[in-house]
Amino acid sequence: MLINKVEICGVNTAKLPILKEKEMKDLLLKMRSGDNSARDKFIKGNLRLVLSVIQRFNNRGENVDDLFQVGCIGLMKSIDNFDLNQNVKFSTYAVPMIIGEIRRYLRDNNVIRVSRSLRDIAYKALIVRDKFIKDTNKEPTISQISEELNIPREEVIFALDAIQDPVSLFEPIYHDGGDAIYVMDQISDSKNSDDSWLEDILIKEAMKKLNKRENRILKLRFFNGRTQMEVADELGISQAQVSRLEKTALKHMRKYI
């Protein structure tokens, strides 16, 4: 009898291998040369990554086997599209892809239909947003939309989320002189501040190497959970400038991590 044996789709998760960083790079190079056995080994070595992602969806009442299979599809897409020339860890690239695949599956298979009242709120919010941008040339905050409609902020968020189609975090939404601003650049994170991924890689020491403005931008973005638009408003510069400074600062910090 095996202790702590948990099977998902016939896979004994207690025996899943863990690949070291060097092993992963070697396997990726072999895969690019057409080695199918290296691909199989790489997939098995990253199934724990899929498991860690599907745990976020435990409260959805979905079949774990189904989520695991969908997550594996996201994993394989990540492998096929991962660029070895980019200075990014595979897990950093793969997690958003796996999450996106699972969210698409959940939305496509969701039996709950968006109510008429929610749609009405969402469309009114979009009208207010378009008018605000036209009048001020700025993106309104949810609070501003909520105040204009005299509707609670939470209802506006819920309504807008209900009508949205899933998109990739890496989908470009704006270009300025060749510098793309992606969906992920627009996302704020109010739940993960001091314990975010920046702190996980001891980012504080590297941040000391930055100049004052770069340091402030990264603190606002990753520790305070601000969007690039909010940072731009606070510093009195454009969002495109914030994006460029953020990318330059992160690139500079990699020398010290």
- At 12, which CATH number? 1.20.120.1810
Give the contacts of 80 (CB within 8 A, at least 6 positions apart): none
Structure confidence at residue 181 (pLDDT): 55
Structure tokens at 223: 């520790």
Asked if residue 30 and residue 80 are part of one domain, the reply reads: yes
Kindly give the pairing relationship between strand 179-182 and strand 172-176: antiparallel
Structure confidence at residue 113 (pLDDT): 53
Query: What residue type is assigned to position 11 of the chain?
Result: V
* Helix 90-108 / helix 47-54 crossing angle, nearest 10 deg: 50
- The answer as to whether 128 is a domain residue is yes
Asked if residue 247 and residue 205 are part of one domain, the reply reads: yes
CB 87 within 8 A of CB 129: no
Asked if residue 58 and residue 43 are part of one domain, the reply reads: yes
Structure tokens at 163: 């009508």
- The answer as to whether 200 is a domain residue is yes
State yes or no: pLDDT of 118 exceeds 50.
Answer: yes
Asked if residue 76 and residue 16 are part of one domain, the reply reads: yes
Structure confidence at residue 3 (pLDDT): 34
Count of structural domains within the chain: 3
- The answer as to whether 2 is a domain residue is no
Q: What is the CATH number of the domain that holds 252?
A: 1.10.10.10
Query: What residue type is assigned to position 124 of the chain?
Result: K
119 or 65: which leads in pLDDT:
65
State yes or no: pLDDT of 115 exceeds 70.
Answer: no
Asked if residue 101 and residue 49 are part of one domain, the reply reads: yes
State yes or no: pLDDT of 4 exceeds 50.
Answer: no
pTM: 0.42
Structure confidence at residue 2 (pLDDT): 34
Question: Where in the sequence is the domain holding 221, given as residue range(s)?
Answer: 167-257
Asked if residue 69 and residue 26 are part of one domain, the reply reads: yes
CA distances from 155 to 53, 130, 167, 196 (A): 27, 19, 22, 27
Last residue of a domain, one of 121, 140, 164: 164
User: Pick from 13, 110, 114, 15: which is nearest to 65 by CA?
Assistant: 13
Across all residues in the chain, what is the average pLDDT?
A: 76
Query: How buried is residue 122: exposed, middle or buried, by Cβ count under 10 Å (0-12/13-18/19+)?
Result: buried
Asked if residue 124 and residue 51 are part of one domain, the reply reads: no
Asked if residue 186 and residue 156 are part of one domain, the reply reads: no
Last residue of a domain, one of 129, 147, 164: 164
Q: What's the pLDDT tens digit per position in 172-185? A: 544 445 555 555 55
Structure confidence at residue 17 (pLDDT): 75
CA distance 207 to 211: 9
CA distance 92 to 42: 16
Q: pLDDT confidence of 1, banded at 50, 70, 90? A: very low
Asked if residue 123 and residue 195 are part of one domain, the reply reads: no
CA distance 127 to 156: 13
Last residue of a domain, one of 108, 123, 148: 108
Rounded average pLDDT over 89-109: 82
DSSP one-letter string for 122-148: HHHHHHHHHHHHHHHSSPPPHHHHHHH
Asked if residue 193 and residue 123 are part of one domain, the reply reads: no
Asked if residue 104 and residue 118 are part of one domain, the reply reads: no
Structure confidence at residue 31 (pLDDT): 84
Asked if residue 189 and residue 205 are part of one domain, the reply reads: yes
Q: What's the pLDDT tens digit per position in 226-248? A: 888 888 888 888 888 888 898 88
Q: What's the pLDDT tens digit per position in 20-69? A: 878 888 888 888 888 888 888 888 888 888 888 888 777 666 778 888 88
CB 155 within 8 A of CB 167: no
Q: What's the pLDDT tens digit per position in 202-225? A: 566 777 788 889 888 888 887 788
Biggest CA pair distance of the chain: 69
